[in-house]
Amino acid sequence: MKPAVIALTDVGVRYGGVDVLDVPALEVFEGEILAVIGPNGSGKSTLLRVVGLLERPTRGAVRFHGTPVDARRSLAERRRMATVFQQPLLADMTVAENVTLGLRFRGDAIDEARVGRWLERLNIAPLRDQRARTLSGGQAQRVALARALVLEPAVLLLDEPFSGLDAPSRAELLPDVGAILRQDRVTTILVTHDRGEAQALADRAAVLMGGRIRQLDHTARVFHAPATEEVARFVGVETIVTGRVIAREAGVTVVEVAGRKLELAAAARVGEHVRVGVRPEDVTLMLPTEVAPLSSARNYLTGTIVQLIPSTPAIRVVVDVGFPLVATVTARSVADLGLAEGTPVTAAFKASAAHLIGLGRTVSG
Amino acid sequence: MDLVVEGVRQALVLLFGGDGEVWSILLLSLQVSASATLISLLIGIPAGAALALARFPARGLVVSAVNTGMGLPPVVVGLFVTLLLWRSGPLGAYEILYTPAAIVVAQAVIASPIVTGITLAAVGQVPREFRLQLLALGASRPQMVWMVLREARLPMLAAVMAGFGGIISEIGASMMVGGNIKGQTRTLTTAMVLETGKGNFDVAIALSLLLLVLIFLVNWALTTIQQRRVL
């Protein structure tokens, strides 16, 4: 494994007697993008400030390339990092002056070619001499990103950098940033409450809740094999039910839940009680009269719609199949199928879409 | 009404008829108040910035004291500066009472809390996140403070205007510590009091016109800077 650029050991932050952060260990490796996800107020930004040497933890040690560092003394190490916040927080000067701000703090000679290159990469070269206060939100955040990236930091810290943007700006910026980070292999910590951003950008994801890391694993594993029910709910698993493993055959685990048999791809011992989670977007609904389309779905459950919950971008439909199963369906499909409360439907999902939630399993790293 | 019209006519004669005294009074007032404003900026900007950025136990008390100081009555300042500079007083050895320097000291005392208070408010308006962002881009603490002051530079022009405006038109302290000595410590305001008392309304009107034009010009210049955002 590559060496850790950042290592936290037994780090805790307390505000007024309340623990807001408690991280026994966390390492960030060279070239990786680590997403720190969690609900609002879970300590994500505090963690980022501690790593960025902007705040001293109440206890514990922060190491940068193996050397212990301190927020008050380690200016040189702080200058090897750069943070972009939710708000662009540009200074009242031109775009170019903003972008060179960090270089000037360091007393570096301004390499115009390098500045120009970063303005190009973030598609803001034509804005070069414009005053920062005249920019749109999306443009301003591009300037903020260029201002951090031009420093070519050893660690880039992103604190909800896309959250303040309108949807179209966000949709444009996200892939641009992703491309830059992958191409340059910038070691990055991305703090976000948005699961989609983590899935789109991160190699690994840490789920932070109540100041503690509940799961830290490859992003796909966090989303597909959540360690706890809490994590599962946060990563978008809406249906969580308890069942008992009754058979294990041909790589398929059969779990009995409320009298229904569910087939799972994940392995478990016969007789074991397990928690099974299903994401609503993995569930397809059809009318019972419909012929099941050719698909790899192994689970077909008949039931009745008990609730339609409008949300974005799709409508969430709760189906009683012996237990409440949540599916997301487009508004178009709801209209086409004539779905309403009381409508009998068949819900289908693949064996690989039913996840085992690691009851009491240890957090893997 | 005649009195006013005649006064204005006489004033214009005084101003543009080759009488040097009115102009020398103007020059002295300008020098004294500009020096005092400069000193108050040197004291008030660092003090205001420090108060805005630092957190210490008695901060609330100090901030309240500064805000009280913004409304210091000039006569009270005049009294205490007189006591300090009095021949037998703590600073009597410098022998500056009844000199322009004494007026500068008194006016600097009046203007410093005004500049401090407005700087405190201006710097306080710069979001805390902006300071954090500067540090996150590698600013040292002095660099961070400098950038925050730079960011607050437009509201801080109000500090200059309020400081200068407060002391150029002040009279109590100038009278007490300067003594209104002809040709030495006579300022626009002390001269106006004297001339009005003597019934020389033409001279008083000339002086008051000068004072108003002066205050207008200074504020106009600063407002132009603020609105065109040339800084």
Identify which of A272, A269, A209, A189 has the alpha carbon closest to the alpha carbon of residue A8.
A189
Rg (CA), chain A: 24
- pLDDT of chain A, 365 residues: tens digit per residue: 678 999 999 999 999 989 999 999 999 999 999 999 999 999 999 999 999 999 999 999 999 999 999 998 999 999 999 999 999 999 999 999 999 999 999 998 889 999 999 999 999 999 999 999 999 999 999 999 999 999 999 999 999 999 999 999 999 999 999 999 999 999 999 999 998 999 999 999 999 999 999 999 999 989 888 899 999 999 989 999 999 999 998 889 999 999 999 999 888 889 999 999 999 989 999 998 876 665 777 899 999 999 999 887 789 999 999 999 999 999 998 999 899 999 999 999 999 889 888 754 433 33
- What string of DSSP letters covers A192-242? ES-HHHHHHH-SEEEEEETTEEEEEEEHHHHHHS-SSHHHHHHTT--EEEE
User: From the DSSP assignment, how many helices (H) and strands (E) are in chain A?
Assistant: 11, 20
Question: Which residues in chain A touch residue B150, judged by CB atoms under 8 angstroms apart?
Answer: 91-92
**pLDDT cut 70: percent of chain A above it:** 96
| Per-residue pLDDT tens over the stretch A15-30 | 998 999 999 999 999 9
Instruction: List the beta bridge partners of residue A310.
Output: A315
CA distances B218 to B5, B30, B33, B153, Å, are 27, 11, 12, 17
Look at residue B194 and tell me if it is in a domain. no
Instruction: Tell me the pLDDT tens digit for each residue of A227-268.
Output: 999 999 999 899 999 999 999 988 899 999 999 999 998 888
Does residue B92 belong to any structural domain of this protein? yes
Phi, psi of A276 (to 5 degrees): -115, 135
Supply the ipTM of this predicted assembly.
Answer: 0.85
Residue B171 within any structural domain of the chain: yes
The answer to whether the Cβ–Cβ distance between B129 and A151 falls below 8 Å is no
Distance CA(A186)–CA(A32), nearest Å, equals 7
Cβ-defined contact of B137 to A147 (cutoff 8 Å): yes
Q: What is the spatial distance between Cα A359 and Cα A353, in angstroms, rounded to a whole number?
A: 18
**Taking a C-beta distance cutoff of 8 angstroms, is the pair B100, B32 a contact?**
yes
Note whether B135 contacts A147, CB cutoff 8 Å. no
How does residue B229 score in pLDDT terms, banded at 50, 70 and 90?
Answer: low
Instruction: Look at residue B126 and tell me if it is in a domain.
Output: yes
Checking DSSP bridges between strand A67-69 and strand A59-64, what pairing results, if any?
antiparallel
Q: Rounded to whole angstroms, how far apart are CA atoms A308 and B108? A: 72
- Two tokens at B50? 């420090």
Q: Is residue B45 part of a domain?
A: yes
Pick the closest to residue B42 from B143, B142, B115 (CA basis): B115
3-state secondary structure of A354: strand
Q: How far is CA A201 from CA A36, A189, A195, A218, in A?
A: 11, 10, 10, 12
Residues 6+ apart with CB under 8 A from A311: none
Residue B231 covered by a domain: no
Interchain proximity B138–A105, CB inside 8 Å: yes
Q: What is the per-residue pLDDT across A304-335, written as a single tens digit (0 to 9) for each?
A: 999 999 887 789 999 999 999 999 999 998 99
Helix (H) or strand (E) holding B145: helix B141-151
**Residue A362: its pLDDT value, please?**
37
| CATH code: domain of residue B170 | 1.10.3720.10
Which residues in B lie closer than 8 A to residue A85 (C-beta atoms)? 129, 132-133, 136
Outline where chain A has alpha helix (H).
44-51, 75-78, 95-99, 101-105, 112-121, 137-149, 167-184, 195-201, 219-224, 229-234, 331-337
Contact B132 A49 (CB under 8 A): yes
Residue B197 lies inside a defined structural domain of this protein: no
Q: Would you tell me which residues 2-61 of chain A have a C-beta closer than 8 angstroms to some C-beta of chain B?
A: 49, 52, 54
Chain A residue numbers touching B147 (CB-CB < 8 A): 91, 101
The distance of B22 to chain A (nearest Cα, Å) reads 44
> How many domains would you assign to chain B?
1
The verdict on residue B55 lying in a domain is yes
Range of the domain at B161: 26-185
Domains in chain A: ranges and CATH: 4-233 (3.40.50.300), 237-357 (2.40.50.100)
